[in-house]
Amino acid sequence: MKNYSIKELRNALDTKEVSSVEVFEHFKSEIETHDHKINSFITKTYDQALAQAQKADEAIAKGEQTMLTGIPIAHKDLYCTKGVKTTAASKMLENFVSPYDATVVEKLDQSGVMVLGKVNMDEFAMGGTNRTSHFGTVHNPWNFDHVAGGSSGGSAAAVSAGFVLAATASDTGGSTRQPASFCNLTGIKATYGRISRWGMIPFACSFDQAGVIAKTAEDCAYMFESMAGFDAKDSTSHNISVPKYSGLLNQSIDGLRIGIPKEFLSPDLDPAIADVIQTALKQYEAMGATLVEVTLPNTDVVVPVYYTIAPAEASSNLACFDGVRYGYRCDDPKDLQDLYMRSRAEGFGDEVKKRIFMGTYALSASAYDAYYVKAQKVRRLVANDYNSVLSQVDVIMGPTAPELPFRQDSTGSTQVYLSDIFTVGANLAGLPAMSIPAGFVNGLPVGLQIIGRAFDEAKILNVAHAYQRETDWHTKQPKFD
Ligand code: GLN
């Protein structure tokens, strides 16, 4: 059952081959048997999941099910869940219980999903390894010595290990696509404004978007149909209709124009990763697509631009965690100053503190024009580059990450920052983007990235699905004891 796609499990539930309660027992037992080796869950919500499973069985008996009724999922631990801890993987929020549900959580609940728990992530979604979590690193089910990626490492590992069939994720600079790539999964981030950010703990508000990680593009389509849509509670939410993505998956891709940025397949790219990507592109050609070389000339500056603006926004977002209004409070403060200083010093981890320093500096009076304003101007240039390429081609493709999943013991956050080079562009421009399984190098997965026009998630899902009908990379599962 753990190898099923959502569609396959839907079929098994609807034909009464299994009940939702049996599905619950199966996935609970998988988590209990194996997650101690992977560390994907921060909080398990079995009581709630069992109640949802019973409700799902009643709905199925009455013929009132939706596509997601009784489907086991998990939420990244930055989606607020009423009555269940939401930690953002930080000591600062270790005991935080939200009084309300995030819009995404509410919408998925309404579709009848069974939520098995809240999954691990980099602290406040800052990172690409899941090693910055207060709750420990996540192990990649393909090889425990390697990371599952980040920041949605728990979401990816939980789906990859067969603990759930899909998990919510978020993507500020690649956090849905990179872990999906590292775990041989399909991950999609929405266009900025497509999915409500209400109830998502913010990292950098002008980049943050919801995402989902599942096995197939089709499963991502089912999840997105339920998650997307206008929400008056999010002032950046767009009021445009949401297509039925799953109904648009079988369009022909004959004549599709695929832009390949020459900066994404440069001679510097690891030749083994380049080979996997070239093979995938040839497959698209064989399916009738045309490959067009394009240029994204500012690719060399996307990482510094992102790591100037995102920490600036983070430093402002995290100012509310002061031990008074929100979050962890230190023991026995001497005075107010001591309370602020020690609560923040003890509550935040090193990576988060580093970003607060970088961001506060970029916003300081002496550095604001030289760094923050400059970065905002270059952000506009990057967005213009992407949009101008996408006016000539239907989608952009390339590798999701320039590296294989990092070893758990590899050092240095600068290397991890640099490896965001192919993903952050879509966030700077607010575009929808995916990663799909494309092959393996040394037994470790490699993802192909697909970037689309704003609000054209339907196209990238269709393009991904077309590939998954012709290839079987997405069906490969890790084997571990
Ligand atoms: N790796 C990037 C960072 O550390 C992206 C994180 C994200 O998308 N949340 O900021």
Closest CA to 393 of 253, 224, 243, 287: 253
Phi, psi of 56 (to 5 degrees): -65, -40
Q: Is the CB of 128 under 6 A from ligand 1?
A: yes
> Is the pTM above the cut of 0.85?
yes
| Domains in the chain, CATH or no CATH each | 1-481 (3.90.1300.10)
Q: Which residues pair with 450 in a beta bridge?
A: 397, 434
Alpha carbon distance 229, 344 (integer Å)? 36
Q: State in Å: Cα 474 to ligand 1 middle.
A: 24
What are the pLDDT tens digits along the chain (481 aa)? 878 999 999 999 999 999 999 999 999 999 999 999 999 999 999 999 999 999 999 999 999 999 999 999 999 999 999 999 999 999 999 999 999 999 999 999 999 999 999 999 999 999 999 999 999 999 999 999 999 999 999 999 999 999 999 999 999 999 999 999 999 999 999 999 999 999 999 999 999 999 999 999 999 999 999 999 999 999 999 999 999 999 999 999 999 999 999 999 999 999 999 999 999 999 999 999 999 999 999 999 999 999 999 999 999 999 999 999 899 999 999 999 999 999 999 999 999 999 999 999 999 999 999 999 999 999 999 999 999 999 999 999 999 999 999 999 997 788 899 999 999 999 999 999 999 999 999 999 999 999 999 999 999 999 999 999 999 999 999 998 7
Which residues are CB-neighbours of 5 under 8 A, at least 6 positions away? 165, 214, 215, 216, 218, 219
282 belongs to the catalytic site: no
Cβ(96)–Cβ(86) below 8 Å: yes
Closest CA to 218 of 44, 440, 11: 11
Listing DSSP states for 81-101 in one string gives: BBTBB--TT-GGGTT-BBSS-
Alpha carbon distance 444, 132 (integer Å)? 22
Closest CA to 399 of 378, 413, 376, 420: 420
Q: Is the CB of 171 under 6 A from ligand 1?
A: yes
Q: Which helix (H) or strand (E) holds 462?
A: helix 457-470
Q: Which is the catalytic residue, given 19, 98, 151, 237? A: 151
Q: State in Å: Cα 100 to ligand 1 middle.
A: 26
151 belongs to the catalytic site: yes
